[in-house]
Amino acid sequence: MLDATRDAFRLLFSGDPEMWGIIAVSLRVSLTALAVAAPLAVAAGYGLAVGRFHGRRALIVTLQALLSFPTVVVGLVLYLVLSRRGPLGAWQLLFTPEAMILGQIVIALPVLAAFTLAAVQGADPRIRDTALSLGAARMRAACTLLFETRFAIFAAVCQGFGRVISEVGCALMVGGNIAGSTRTITTAIALETSKGDFSQGIALGFVLLVLAVGVNVALAVLQGRGGEP
């Protein structure tokens, strides 16, 4: 174990191209998924928070249920949709980074939307009133409210990033863990550990840990800023 750990850090700091390529794929897939999911989810979360319509309560309950939806089931459904016999088989997306991005968008959407909903519901009700009263149109008032609660919204994005960067089930199902193409940090750890080669697994695990800790530190800082008067 000690030898494996020593080799792991050697791999990390030697700039091993295969390992850093895996990290690059992970970051590219997760950050792209977040970039697509975030605007949609923030808009949906805001709409659910301020809207008053039939079925709103049911939608909120469904959203909260989706928070704990197993990522491997997301992967399974997406696999069936993208496979050759599936409705989107002609797109030939299976086992590509794009399929993984799609999967992570589906995983990130409920997380981002639920946390945005909570942030907007917890926001000072005077924000929207003040914006509207100073002549803002409803869309502008919404942007103002989101800006005033930006730390909480960004915390929602951090939560979403944490969820997608560390998921393995969906990435394995629709990505296929192909070296140099769809191998992410989590799928590589699963593969290397199953082969008994722990050095790369430990190195990548360390990177995932740093990313997870980094996200939590950012969250703690943002939550502190958000609490400032």
Partner 1 sequence: MSDPLLAVRGLTKGFSDGVALLAIPSLEIAEGVCWIVTGDNGAGKSTLLRVLAGLEPAGADRASFDGRPLDLANYPDSVRREIVYVHQHPYLFARSIAANIRYGLARRGIAGSAQVSRVAAAIAWAGLDRVRDVLPARLSGGEKQRVALARAWAVSPRLLLLDEPTANLDATARVQVLALLRELALAGRTVVVACHDRELIDLPHAEQWHIDGGRFERRR
Interface with partner 1 by CB under 8 A: which residues?
124, 126-127, 129-137, 140, 144, 148, 228-229
Q: Which residue's CB is nearer to partner 1, number 50 or number 190?
A: 50
Is-contact 121 146, C-beta < 8 A? no
- Shortest distance in whole angstroms from residue 227 CB to partner 1: 11
- Report yes or no: 7 and 199 within 8 Å, Cβ to Cβ: yes
Tokens of residue 137, six digits: 């149109």
Question: Among residues 3 and 228, whose Cβ is nearest to partner 1?
Answer: 228
State the minimum distance, in angstroms, from the CB of residue 93 to partner 1. Answer: 43
Q: Which is nearer to partner 1, 124 or 197 (CB)?
A: 124
List of residues 6+ apart from 23 with CB closer than 8 A = 185, 204, 207
CA distances from 186 to 17, 116, 118, 176 (A): 17, 27, 29, 12
Distance in angstroms (rounded) separating the CA atoms of residues 113 and 105? 12
Nearer to partner 1 by Cβ, of 5 and 130: the residue is: 130
Q: Which one, 40 or 127, has the nearer CB to partner 1?
A: 127
* Residue 26 Cβ vs partner 1, minimum distance, rounded to whole Å: 34
- Supply the minimum distance, in Å, between the C-beta of residue 96 and partner 1: 43
Nearer to partner 1 by Cβ, of 65 and 137: the residue is 137
Q: C-beta of 169: minimal distance to partner 1 in Å?
A: 40
Smallest gap from residue 47 Cβ to partner 1 (A): 18
Please give the Cα distance from 30 to 104 (Å, whole number).
7
**Among the listed residues 115, 227, 112, 98, the one whose alpha carbon sits nearest the alpha carbon of residue 174:** 98
Alpha-carbon span 228 to 189, nearest angstrom: 40
Q: Look up residue 40 and give its amino acid.
A: L
* Structure-token pair, residue 146: 């989101």
